[in-house]
Amino acid sequence: MSHTSTIDSDLPCQAIYQGTGSAAEIEAQVDRFYGEAVKRYPTYETMVQSHFCELMRNTFGENEEVNQDVAYAYAYARELYDYLSQDELDKANADAFNKGICSHGLTAKTCPCGCFELE
């Protein structure tokens, strides 16, 4: 299985996954993505999920059914790591914000990024 993964939030997600991998190879790739997200944001569960989902979309594209390998990768990611599409993630973040939780998973006056300061 060959693949390239680049993260650039300014660019639209496009499938750059190339090749056909076995289920084990696809699972290992998804597992690596989640591990990378946890390593990058070890104390921010919301950020882990957001980064993991971004890695998935940037590698496999936004069409979860484009081919059998991609469909499997997304099914695996949803089952083990609660993957959410961008629309689902946006809705979850909006719901959390309405409950007083910012996009970093923190409450008012606890986010070092200044979330809620304009309220």
The tokens describing 47, both together, are: 């950020």
Residues 6+ apart with CB under 8 A from 19: 1, 2, 3
Phi, psi of 101 (to 5 degrees): -120, 125
Could you report the per-residue pLDDT of 64-102, keeping only the tens digit for each? Answer: 999 999 999 999 999 999 999 999 999 998 998 888 888
Per the structure, the count of domains in the chain is 1
Beta bridge pairs of residue 2: 18
**How are the residues of the chain apportioned to helix, strand and coil, as percentages rounded to the nearest 5?**
50, 5, 45
Structural domain span for residue 99: 1-119
Q: In the 8-state DSSP scheme, what is residue 13? A: P
pTM as predicted:
0.75
